[in-house]
Structures are given as structure tokens and as C-alpha cells.
Chain A
Amino acid sequence: MLALIGRRLLVTLPLLLFVTLLVSLMSLLVPGDPAVQIAGENATHEQIELTRQRLGLDRPWHERYLDWLAGAARGDLGNSVFTNDSVSQLLQERLPVTLALTLSALVFAALVGVPAGILAALRRNRWQDSLIRGVATIGIAMPGYWLGLLLLMVFAIQLGLFPTIGYTPLTENPAAWLHGIVLPTVALGAPAAAEVARQLRRSMIDTLQQDFVRTATAKGLRYWMVLGKHALTHAANPVVTVLATQMALLLGAAVIIEKVFVIPGIGELAVNSVINKDLTIVQGIVVVTTLVIVVTNLLADLAHAWLSPRTR
């Protein structure tokens, strides 16, 4: 277990270097000069040039990248090209918002997908199974923003059950936060729930057919014990993989859901920073999201190890 964690941490550093270098190179392909916007709407050509120099935008890209890297190694992710805000502070403010949303969606995916998958597997080929499979297909096929807007139209505007602006800070009012996060969670988590349900159904059906299950039943173990202890732990493995993969997809999809529900998270920051060509913030976001994915995958691997008696 420790070896696993150690190995993973060793890979993380080169991974971060690679990803940030890639972002730096990609930004060269993007045309445009942030200095024009930053210098203000009444600026003269000279002032734009001064702004460019002040922000170091006229230096070669590898110099700027190494400078940033040196700072990042010390824990300083730099300042926004636009507002001079500390990137670390911006991330500190916005990351928890997105993480809360993404984790809720993940929990929703598990809470809805797991029972649905089990039910579908147990009632295989009967009406419950068909209904669940049908709904799951729709859930995966539907684009996130469309589902989000649909939920908004029906539940927020027509029925007035939820607010259209999906965010009140948790620290300000937990009840209001919960109330606001319901629709975005459903919109974000629906495809993940569908995927979990389908995966669990498949792996449970496979597991239930395996020899050791028949052996256990033949030995006289009660059905529910067989189900819980043996079948489920075996079937859970692929589901953990699905959830871990979904985490990465959810982080990406959160960008759109944040726009639809006006949630001030990382996604919104990412979109605005890319449009503004605020490279420092983009690098910061890339570093943070990479770390989140690495940690998630590590946790998934640890869960695998725990669930599979053989590898323990």
C-alpha cells in the first residue's frame, strides 16, 4: 500500500512539469495581446507598450515559463496578469466551490447509480431492468447544459421549487447552499449515475454467475449474505474505476454547469482566464486540477486494493 502511494507520488512531479510545459507551448499558438485590454480603454500606444514591459509579456516564453516554475516550486503560483490578484488566493476561493459541486455529483451518482444497478441486475430482463437501462441511456446521451437548462425551466421557473442562481456560500447558510446545489448536482451527476448503474449491473450479473457464488449458495449461505459480502465487493471494483474516471469528466463538465447555474467555481475562472489569455491563472488551474485527478486515481487504486482480497 505504501509502495503504491510512493510510486504514485514520484510520477506526479514529472506529470505536472509535462502538463504545465504543454500549456505554456499551447499558449504560444493563441494570438492576441492581453496588454491591450489591461492598459485600459483610453490608453495610448506607448502605454500599451509600457504595460507589456511591466508584465513581462515581451520576454521569450521559456524565460517566462522558467520564472513561473521557480516560483511554483516555492509554492508561489504567481499573480493574475489582469488583476494582479494572487493566483493561490483565487484558487483557494474557487476550488472548494467546484470540489463541493463535483463531490455532490459523485455522491449523487453513487446514491442513484448503485441501487439502480443492483436492482437492474437482480431483476434482469424484467421491466425494472428495462426501465433503468432506458433512463440510463437517456442520461448518458443528454448534453449536460441541456439537462441543466431543462431542470431550470421546469423546477426553478415553472414550479419555483429551486433558485436559478445555484450558489450561496456554505459558510453563509448551509441550508441555502444545499437548496441551490440540488439542480446543478443532478444535471452534473446524471450521466455519471447512468454510467455507474450500467457498469454495476453488468459486473453484478457477471459476478452472480461465477462459480464461487454458486458454491456459496450451495453451501447454504443466505442469499443476502452472498449478495452483500461476495457479489457486491467483487462487482464494486469496476464501479470504483468508473467513479474515478467520472471524476475527471465531472471536473470538465462542471465548467458548463457552473455557467448555466452561475456558480463561482474553477470552471468559470478557467473559461474567463483562457478568453483573457491570463496565462498565470490558467497554469495555476492546470496544476490544481492535475493534482485533484492524481489524488482521485490514487484513492481509487487504494480502494481496489482494499476490495480485492487477492491483492491485499
Chain B
Amino acid sequence: MKVWRHIAVVGVVALLAAACSSGGTANTNGNRSGELDPNGTFRFADTLPIETLDPHTSPGAGNNVWLFPVYDRLIHLNEEAELVPGLATEWQFSDDGRTLALTLRQGVTFTDGTPFNAEAVKANLERGQTLEGSAVAAELAVIKEVEIVDEYHVNLHLTGVHSSLPYVLTDRAGAIASPAAFDNLSRAPVGTGMYKVVEYQPGSRAVYERNDDYWDPDAAAAARMEFTTITDSLQRLNALRSGSIDATILAANDVAAAQQAGFVVDSQPILQFFHLQLNLSKPYLDDVRVRQAINHAINREELVQGLLFGLGEPAVQPFPRGYFAFDEEIGTDYYEYNPDKARQLLADAGVPEGYELELINQNAPQYTQLSEAIQAQLADVGLNATITQSTIFANTFYVEGEGDAGAINWTGRPDPAQTIALLYTETGFANPGGVTTDEVATLYEQLVATTDEAARADLARQLSRQITLDALDVVLYFPYENVAYSDRVIGLRPWLAGKLEFRGVGIAAG
């Protein structure tokens, strides 16, 4: 009897050992020829639950991945986050900048047979403005009137000069749905997009089938797409390894395991960045020297190595290198790591040794680790940071105005002006203190009043520079988006704007 007990123990231990060893057979299928299977099914696991398929009530860009295959927008963004034609082939501001004239694509129909024309555009924009529960009403509020010039020409008359509008129309605000389907879009979406939804389980899964009449015939390279939600990165990796999915996004600490198992991992910066936001209305933080001191006290390289295993880029500007709003001169190291200089600046500003800063922390492991790392780095320069946990960061830090600083991520917006407005202007919702400098405010006014693309890009760069010089923020790093996929997947490219689109993505034959 005792023998059996021993054998049972040994058996359990053996089972555990087998399970805990680094597993998965490497995918040794060699190089795919790249021959596309026109009837392939592409399976993707997203990180967030899908809340609704109605683009005008979807509260955040997190679900864009699920919406964009079905709904074209008036204007699209390409992989470099630049404007390209969508359902509008041309767009032009009037000389005074108060009217945006759109030329619409001809010969397009919604998948329910309704024709796409100026009336559909007017119906959609007005729906976005007036629908109860619309999450895009604020962005569309700048449109005073939608004038139908003829079947394929629309003039948008604005309340003033709002040069962000083309970028705004690349997101859900510019998504075009069939007016005949307005009543039940959240569960039965109908658009002009490259796919249509054939199956939908709210919160977890959607199945798409190719729209054979799509105006860009090469866009839907896979005949079918299946999307699921898996919120945990390790489980996404497991699903990839067991062949349940073809592609997904992984956290930094799962990248090595994915590569070992033979998967391709593309790690690229996107518009999302992490920053230690400062509330400039709090004591000492209204002094630029203190803010610059904090910038010098942070060792960004250490954060990227320690928290992201090197899969990220240290930064001081709110835009990534390679983006048109990035200022080359400021670069990524204008505030080099220099604790001595930090201490000097703090002393100059009269900050007492051991001054207590309250850090608000969104209560999740990735933010807690970051806050604790920052706390240690600030302690080195004589700033005593205390961490207060919150399960509702936006509420606590922005709405209630509690705390001096908070380490959080900014997911990015299609237009730099939007990011600047929300983070660095007086009325920006995500500007905790509601304080900015005159220089930044003036440049911002100019930016929204300028409609020439090249001039706008230049102003955006100037703003990025000024924001950094004025140290309105402590930008930390741009984490890479790690897109992992099997070698059966063809055409999957990184997308700078951060929300993957699957134009031209398919499965290899054989």
C-alpha cells in the first residue's frame, strides 16, 4: 500500500515536470512560398472585449479592429498614419477654412443593397451628432451643416476653422453605415466594408465573410475572418501555440516564448506611449524647473529594459520617431538621465528635501510595476513619492483632481491636434490641472486654424518641441506593439496608428 502512495507521488511530480518545461514544438515548416489561399480563414485574438458593433456608440478606439472591416470611413489612414482616400476620394478645405468639400466614391453599395451617396453621408454624420448615447458627438459638433451638392459631392459647413476634421473622419466619427440598418447596428452591422459580419457573440467573438462587391478587390485577401477576445496575453500565446488562432498581440514578456515556438513577432512602435502625467495646478509642479527636474530624474532606458525587456523606445516627446509630428532636434533624449542636475533644479526651485509627491496608480500589474519603478528613481533625487491605488484612474486623476502625478498610457489619436488638445490645453479632459503655457496655447490655436497639410505638420512638430521644452509632461517610452503570427499568415503589417487593419491579410495555400 505504501508503495502505491510513493508511485502516485512520483507520477504527479513527473506530470508537473512535463507540464512546466518550456513546451511547444517549433514550427519548422520552412519558408512559405507566399501563394495566397483565396478561401483561407484568418483567425485573430484581440485583447479587449467587443462591446458593440455600432461605430457611433462605441466608446473607444479599442474596438476599431472589429469595426473597420465592416465599416469604411470617409477618409482612411495608411500604415504610416497618413490620410488616404476612403469613401471620399478627395477632400478640400475652402479658402477661409470653414467648409470642407468631399468628393465621394462612386459605384459603391452597402451590403444590404442600399446605394452609397451624399444622402447616406448626411444621414450618418447627423446620426453621429444627434443619436442618444453617441460617443462621437463631441468630435462632430464642429459641423454646423451637411450640405448635399449633388449625389457624390458634400460640403461640410463648420462652426469655425477646424483643421483636425479630416483626421477625425478616419475614426468612428467618419464611419458610414447603411441608413436602412440604423436601428440595430450594435448587433447587425451593415457597412460598405471589405467584410460583412455573419456571426456575433457580444463580448467575445465575431465571424466575418468577404464582401465580394468591395470597391478594392485585393483588400479582403482571406475569405473569412474569425475574431475572438482573449484578455490574458499568456492565453493568447497558448491559443497561438495550439493552432486555435493565426495571429494576435502579445505582451513584452511573452515575445521570447513565441519566437522560440517558431512564430513571427513584429515589434514596432505605435502612437501609444506611457507618461508620468503631472498636475500643474499642484504646489511646485507649476514651476518648469521642477518639471524638468523630474524629467532628468527618470532613467527611461532602465524602465524599457526592466519593464519591457527592451521592447520599446525611450522618449521625451508625445510622438514616436518616424511620425510626421516628431521633432528631430529634440529627439528622444532631450532630458537625459541626470540625477545631479535634477537635484540642482529642485534646489533652485526651493523644493524641500524629501518632499512628498502623491502618485495615483491604476490598480493593474503593469501600472503598479511602473509606478514603483518611478518611485525608486524619484527617491534618488530626494522626492518622496507615495503611491495611491485607484481602480478608476480617469475619475480619480482627471475628474476629482486628486494626486500630484499619475503614470498612465495614452493610446494616441489619428490627429496630433487631438492628442495635444486633450492632454495639453486648458480644457483638455485628460489635462488634470487644466493648466498650460501661453506658448503652447498660441501654437495650438494656430494649428487648428491651419488647413494646409504641410503647414500643419510643421506646426505639430513645433508644438511637440514646445511641449517638451516647457516640460508639460514626463513622457517615458513608446512600448512596441508585438504582433505575433504563424508563418501561414501573409500580408500582416504593423500599423502605426495602433489599431491593426487587415487589408491584404490572408492565409498561405498548402
Contact = CB atoms under 8 A, between A and B. Distances in A.
A91 to B, nearest CB: 11
B388 interface: no
Contacts of B394: 36-37
Given A83-B52, A93-B202, A164 B391 contact: no
B429 interface: yes
B1 A85 contact: no
B241 interface: yes
A41 B394 CA distance: 10
B455 interface: no
A90 interface: yes
B203 A272 contact: yes
A282 interface: no
Interface string A30-65: 011100111111111101100100100000000000
A90 B186 CA distance: 13
Interface residues of B, number: 57
B504 interface: no
B136 interface: yes
A74 B146 CA distance: 43
B149 interface: no
B230 interface: yes
A51 B138 CA distance: 12
Interface stretch (B18-26, B291-299, B302-310): B18-26
Contacts of A43: 135, 138, 429
Contact of A160 (B16, B187, B242): B242
Contact of B15 (A90, A135, A154, A264): A154
Nearest to A54: B132
A47 B139 CA distance: 11
Nearest to A126: B1
A164 B133 contact: no
The A contact surface, by secondary structure, is helix
Interface stretch (B53-61, B266-274, B446-454): B53-61
Given A33-B399, A54-B132, A165-B228, A41 B239 contact: no
B39 interface: no
A163 B240 CA distance: 10
Contacts of B231: 259
A87 B298 CA distance: 47
A262 to B, nearest CB: 5
A260 B235 contact: yes
A130 B4 contact: yes
Interface in B61-90: 61
Contact of B186 (A41, A48, A83, A268): A83
B427 interface: yes
Contacts, number: 137
A268 B23 CA distance: 28
A158 B205 contact: no
B19 A150 contact: yes
B51 A42 contact: no
A83 B51 contact: yes
Interface residues of A, number: 49
Contacts of B24: 157-158
A127 B205 contact: no
A84 B133 contact: yes
Contact of B427 (A44, A138, A259, A269): A44
A134 interface: yes
B422 interface: yes
B232 interface: yes
Interface in B229-261: 229-232, 235, 238-239, 241-245
Contact of A262 (B61, B186, B230, B427): B230
Contacts of A48: 399
Given A131-B4, A157-B23, A164-B242, A264 B203 contact: yes
Contacts of B5: 130, 134
A152 interface: yes
Nearest to B51: A83
A41 B203 CA distance: 19
B235 A93 contact: no
A58 to B, nearest CB: 14
A127 B241 contact: no
A262 B228 contact: yes
A262 B229 CA distance: 8
A85 B52 CA distance: 9
Contacts of A156: 238, 242
For the complex of A and B, the 7 pairs showing the least CB-CB separation, nearest first, are A40-B135, A264-B204, A32-B392, A164-B242, A153-B19, A165-B244, A41-B60
6 contacts: A32-B392, A39-B59, A40-B136, A153-B23, A153-B238, A158-B18
Interface of B: 1, 4-5, 8, 12, 15-16, 18-20, 23-24, 49, 51-52, 57, 59-61, 132-133, 135-139, 186-187, 201-205, 228-232, 235, 238-239, 241-245, 391-392, 394-395, 399, 411, 413, 418, 422, 427, 429
Interface of A: 31-33, 36-45, 47-48, 51, 54, 82-85, 90, 93, 126-127, 130-131, 134-135, 138, 150, 152-154, 156-158, 160, 163-165, 169, 259-260, 262, 264, 268-269, 272
